[in-house]
Amino acid sequence: LKYLHRLDCTKCLHSVRIRYNSCSELERISLSAVDALKILCLSKVLDFHHPHQLKDGLEGFSLDLPEHAETLEQILVDCRDTLKYGVSTGHPRFFNQLSSGLDVIGVAGEWLTSTANTNMFTYEVSPVFILMEEVLLKKMQSIVGWSEDEGDGIFCPGGTISNLYSILVARYRVCPEVKTKGMGALPPLALFTSEHSHYSVKKSAAVLGLGSESVMVVTCDERGKMIPAELESSILAAKSKGLLPFYVNATAGTTVYGAFDPLAAIADICHTHRLWMHVDAAWGGGLLMSDRHRRKLQGIERACSVTWNPHKMMCVPLQCSVILVKKPGLLQECNKLGAEYLFQTDKPYDVNYDTGDKSIQCGRHVDVFKLWLMWKAKGSDGFGSQVNKCLENAEYLYDQLKRNSDFQLVFKHKPEHSNVCFWYIPPSLRALQPGPDRDRRLHEVAPQIKGRMMEKGSVLIGYQPFGDKVNFFRCVFSNPATQPEDIDFLLNEIITLGAD
């Protein structure tokens, strides 16, 4: 290939690059490149409508169910409109959620999974998928750093359920009678997690009958990392109140700041107090795939259990989440009920492969195939490159924000993960002194800009308050299709939409 030509859109920051050998070839390719550019420029992240508008029906799109079958043409229109009025989470300018992107191999995997239309409870009906699950779990356990004879686990519906499993199994370990006798068999328990951890820890404690107040919230540093000395004193305080500490959740990649708790120091404390150490790496687990970034999870190998969501940083289509448990057999012991109609012991094959009784579900969706297929298509190093690309994007945004005084970073450190948190300071607020009045007005900026963004549909980013910090934007990168031009577009869009 001799030459490279770049076509830029005059209205936005999109560009396409064309490789060509001759002038006539450039002319020919340019026409289709212009078309591609137009599609990119015109395609929206979302075409927002309020619930009442969608419920009332829009231009031939009705949610109502008919008495009689619709025509094939109408069915196709229904499909098109379902996507049209939804949100394009695969768009390179969708920065709203930890899971984004659209991997074609993953989509193919999901199609095949639906075609197979089977259930993960027994080898009898899912022989290939059950073995794929075993292979993937082993691979992920070895990446975590567990030895060949350690490790168990199961794919389950999302990080919250994975975290719930970790508490369930940890509780069973300290008091196996809870399975048959219930909460009456338990002393008052205490569990520990950081103030920046995911709300699923408290939710799981509530669901499991421990109560959300049994969760002790440990203070973090300015960067959002759990402070080990605070954990230690929290454990001692709980003991002095007559509670029995049994479980610590450390987070590898917090939801808002993308912080990594100091896993090795937390593991030391868990060892001293004989506590179950869980690592919620739902978001940060993907960094284990990158030679450049996996050191941020140093100490994860000492965990008793790990949550890891490939549907986040590895861009696997939703849903794809695992709970890994270091001690083999514990999951099965904790959850097994041995329903005789399903888990017969006299089947004509090794019934250890009827893994469904490890689960708290009966029917279980096949989430393994798309991940297995993507791993085949990319290799471990392909996932590593994707992760590196997303973190490079975060660093690019961080650098842009640092040099633009219209923006203010929520914490000054370089991002450890792909989360970048910042305020936009509109012209009307720039002269105000820091204080309650400025805070009150700044709190309204992100939601107002986001509302305008949703109406326009050109880009989407999340915001939230945190602790004493008023609403700020959180930009996250998990879509390797995002380019620096998309990040420039985001910042320009915020400036444009927030000009007043």
Nearer to ligand ABU, 119 or 307 (CB): 307
Residue 47 exposure: Cα atoms within 13 Å on the Cβ side: 13
**Structure tokens that stand for 182 in this block:** 């219930």
Do 154 and 161 form a contact (C-beta atoms < 8 A)? no
Nearer to ligand ABU, 33 or 459 (CB): 459
Residues 106-145: x where in contact with ligand ABU by CB under 6 A, - otherwise, as a string: ----------------------------------------
Which 300-329 positions form the footprint of ligand ABU (CB under 6 A)?
A: none
Q: How far is the CB of 99 from ligand ABU (least distance, A)?
A: 6
Nearer to ligand ABU, 159 or 228 (CB): 159
Q: How far is the CB of 214 from ligand ABU (least distance, A)?
A: 21
> How many C-beta atoms lie closer than 10 Å to residue 189's C-beta?
24
Does the footprint of ligand ABU cover residue 254 (CB under 6 A)? no
Among 255, 321, 335, 393, binds ligand ABU (CB under 6 A): 255
What contacts 58, CB < 8 A, 6 or more positions away? 49, 81, 85
What contacts 191, CB < 8 A, 6 or more positions away? 167, 170, 201, 205, 210, 214, 215, 216, 245, 246, 247, 248, 249
Among 62, 97, 298, 408, binds ligand ABU (CB under 6 A): 97
Q: How far is the CB of 471 from ligand ABU (least distance, A)?
A: 15
Q: Is 322 helix (H, G, I), strand (E, B) or coil?
A: strand
Do 323 and 309 form a contact (C-beta atoms < 8 A)? no
Does the footprint of ligand ABU cover residue 284 (CB under 6 A)? no
Nearer to ligand ABU, 354 or 367 (CB): 367
Do 411 and 222 form a contact (C-beta atoms < 8 A)? yes
Q: How far is the CB of 159 from ligand ABU (least distance, A)?
A: 5
Does the footprint of ligand ABU cover residue 171 (CB under 6 A)? no
Q: How many residues contact ligand ABU, by CB under 6 A?
A: 6
Nearer to ligand ABU, 126 or 200 (CB): 200
Provide the β-strand partners of residue 237.
none
- Rounded-to-integer distance, Cα 424 and Cα 407, Å: 5
Does the footprint of ligand ABU cover residue 198 (CB under 6 A)? yes
Q: Of 410, 479, 438, which Cα lies nearest the Cα of 257? A: 410
Q: How far is the CB of 256 from ligand ABU (least distance, A)?
A: 8
Which residues bind to ligand ABU, rule: CB under 6 A?
A: 97-98, 159, 198, 255, 282
